[in-house]
Amino acid sequence: MSIELSYSPDIPIGVAEEGPAAALVFAYLNRAAGLLATGYASASDIDTAMRLGCGLPSGPFAMIDLIGPDVVRGVLARMHDTTGDPSFAPAPLFADFARVGRRPTGTPATGTATARRIDRAGVVGTGTMARGIAEVAVTAGLPAVLVGRDHARAEQAVAKIAASMERSVGKGRMTEAERDRALGLLTPAGERGVLADVDLAVEAVVEDLAVKRELFADLGRICAPGAVLATTTSSLPVAECAAASGRPWDVVGLHFFNPAPAMRLVEAGGVFGTLLARYPKIELGVDEPRYREHFNLRMLEELPLRLSR
């Protein structure tokens, strides 16, 4: 399974589409790049100053990392051509970032999608939604670990998933062999450290921003570099979770509907997608043909995102 995350600099964006809020954001990013070019302070220092001094969830260079310097430069150039406002004239530093293929904080900068291979998933939570997502993952053949507040709760959740699969067997939706194979891929755990070796971590905990921010701070620290961190929130800002993780470029929103094993729709969203792109092609598939039509992804934010197996 792979997840592909990208922002394409070639997608046309109009100032009218972005509005005054986007104009303010991109002008702010442009000024930050100009300040960095003077050598007055490092990207890390500027980010820290804006987070601690101004109370922003993330600094300008974390945002540029997330969006991609090539995309920021393209949007600024378009705004400048349209308005003639010198504040939108792209700082030369953006061209330098693109030329050397790096982002301000040192992460790779590319204009094309980079697939991330998903061989193991982690689901945090033991409620109905968490259990449903874990069931969907292992039924599709993806090994998964279900993390609860303690091991006993995780085991209880796995028992409920087994009961759900037993009902599916009774209704002819899956065979006993398929049930046994799926359950063999599911592991209960009572501590988050087991998420260090997952490629995709999905949180499905209570809709409380403080709880989710604390969890994403842990995920950002525990999960391996490049692992995708997903929130299932349906009402809270994905950006808040992304900022708390310390690695916002790895964070996406995946909103499953309840019950996840029966509802095919999954809404996908990012952090700054609405500023950057129009609706891209979305793909989600799994090995077994019978599950190939199980998912239907719909964009909440215009984030180029592809999931495939």
Q: State the pLDDT at residue 104.
A: 53
Is it the case that residue 179 has pLDDT exceeding 90? yes
Is 146 among the domain residues? yes
Shared domain check, 130 and 52: no
Of 82, 106, 130, which marks where a domain is finished? 106
Kindly state the percentage of the chain with pLDDT values over 90.
36
d(CA 308, CA 142): 12
Shared domain check, 165 and 94: no
Shared domain check, 81 and 159: no
Q: Give the pLDDT mean for 46-67.
A: 84
d(CA 18, CA 76): 12
Shared domain check, 227 and 128: yes
Shared domain check, 218 and 81: no
CATH number (domain holding residue 236)? 3.40.50.720
Is it the case that residue 111 has pLDDT exceeding 50? no
Shared domain check, 222 and 91: no
What confidence category does residue 270 fall into, taking pLDDT thresholds of 50, 70 and 90? low
The amino acid sitting at 217 is A
Shared domain check, 243 and 187: yes
Is it the case that residue 201 has pLDDT exceeding 50? yes
Q: Which range marks the domain in which residue 162 is found?
A: 116-308
Q: State the pLDDT at residue 203.
A: 96
Shared domain check, 239 and 190: yes
CATH number (domain holding residue 46)? 1.10.1040.10
Q: What is the pLDDT of residues 159-176, one digit of tens each?
A: 999 999 999 999 999 999
What confidence category does residue 115 fall into, taking pLDDT thresholds of 50, 70 and 90? low
Model confidence, pTM: 0.62
Shared domain check, 52 and 152: no
Shared domain check, 226 and 186: yes
Assigned token pair, 278: 């129009």
Of 106, 127, 152, which marks where a domain is finished? 106
Q: State the pLDDT at residue 40.
A: 74
- Closest listed residue to residue 50, CA positions, set 37, 39, 36: 36
Is it the case that residue 23 has pLDDT exceeding 60? yes
Shared domain check, 183 and 293: yes
Q: State the pLDDT at residue 197.
A: 94
Q: State the pLDDT at residue 69.
A: 78
What is the total count of domains within the chain? 2
Contact 59, 35 (CB under 8 A): no
What confidence category does residue 99 fall into, taking pLDDT thresholds of 50, 70 and 90? low
Shared domain check, 168 and 90: no
Is 111 among the domain residues? no
d(CA 139, CA 174): 9
**Of the candidate ranges 90-104, 121-135, 195-209, 276-290, the one whose mean pLDDT is the lowest:** 276-290
d(CA 299, CA 256): 12
